[in-house]
Chain A
């Protein structure tokens, strides 16, 4: 569904991303791990178009999209969330979801405000935020903001969902709920790429993990193999084994 080949992003002489390749299929979760500054978020930025990759090829549902605009890629079925939970603060929860739904993939050109609102409401129900539809986004606690960001991403009706640290800053119970949510999104046939430091969640969710270090990929394999990989343990997980939860 999404295929990246040899993605490279140079900032002057610095290789933020150095020839990373991966692909992800519908209903699959690809985890991306690595120490801070490894280039994980920059990799996401090149996939979504927030920055244009210096080199490489990105195929989204078979179409090459490396130089195209963000909203074009989104219309093709690519959605993302950010590390920091962003939302339009002065808009209500439902308005945020409605806005996302109104530009969703496959929406027909004619006016269909009720359809858009229904689609936005459905996305809120998927993440469990329907009870807060009328609340301004600025007033939401962090867990709700993170769920709203996932809901707006879902409202665009994505084929591929990129999640940037969806578990960061959450309590243990919230992590469990979010794992359930991401599992359900995967089961609905969305291809998911997920950057995460919370090893417990990554190991449980990911079918495969790609570990980055200094912009390059140093490991690709199953979570179980990752935990035993000498290089990954050395640069990322630490000698304690298994990493932190």
Chain B
């Protein structure tokens, strides 16, 4: 029973944060057909913004999260303008998915090295957003920081859902995900929609980075592991499927939590990659993915 509570609690926490980082990748892939490899770097940058705001300037937690959101939104927008925008007009001439995979990967390498140059190869401690622990059951406890992280992740994901369901820009994102040319004929300004989408996805990862920075550290390579997990989640969920991504995020979170409690942390990644292999063999489009269009 104690184990079960621990697995469940940690699983929800992990699942929420993976969902937050991965849902951005899904959004970008579903809309723009880009497997955005810079998403992990946004987690890293978010961690540094959190460190800069909380540890070196002592601002309050809400401001730090807002700062991370705004900064990574701008950075994601800039990433789109540099690595994707020039390719949109030529998307029928080049292999758009492959080339943008490489260009966004280049941005990720660039950002990692900028961080390395500027901050050095050190791990910086990021203070937790909230201190203290919530006792759950017979010695099982969960920190308020993790709880806040889970809650804010869920709130942001719900916010994203409302944005996509209720606003004209959200509807435009979904329309573009299904038929780019048709959406463009309805006067949807795609050249503004692409940066908006990538900025939004990056901002979600950036907020996640502040939380993850306190769990681990802010460092130039802090985005690598989140990117790895986000990739597992989006492949598992079916690239481009938002609901599939949510299921997959909590499935991966629970699996990781189960491995840590029952088997040992070293087995987490082998088990997850084994699951991915099996899913790709038997369900090539993931849990909720569909072969081509109509995903969002």
Interface, chain A (partner B; CB < 8 A):
48, 50, 69-71, 74-75, 79-80, 82, 86-91, 95-96, 98-100, 102-105, 113, 116, 138, 152-153, 155-156
Contacts and interface: CB of A to CB of B under 8 A. Distances in A.
B145 interface: no
Contacts of A99: 168, 171-172, 175, 186, 188
A155 B190 CA distance: 18
Contact of B171 (A70, A71, A98, A104): A98
A70 B185 contact: yes
Given A89-B293, A102-B168, A71 B190 contact: yes
Interface centre among B175, B183, B293, B295 (most CB of A within 10 A): B175
Nearest to B178: A88
B59 interface: no
Contacts, number: 80
Nearest to B185: A80
A159 to B, nearest CB: 13
Contacts of B182: 82, 86-88
A75 B174 contact: no
B3 interface: no
B187 A71 contact: yes
B296 interface: yes
A104 B187 contact: yes
Given A98-B168, A98-B171, A116-B168, A88 B179 contact: yes
Contact of B186 (A89, A100, A113): A100
A71 B184 contact: yes
Interface string B156-171: 0000000000001001
A100 B187 contact: yes
A38 to B, nearest CB: 21
Interface in B189-246: 189-191
B130 interface: no
Nearest to B183: A88
A190 to B, nearest CB: 16
B191 A88 contact: no
B164 to A, nearest CB: 10
B174 A88 contact: yes
Contacts of A91: 171, 174-175
Contacts of B294: 89-90, 138
A90 B174 contact: yes
Q: By CB atoms of chain B within 10 A, which of A71, A82, A86, A138 has the most? A: A71
Nearest to B176: A88
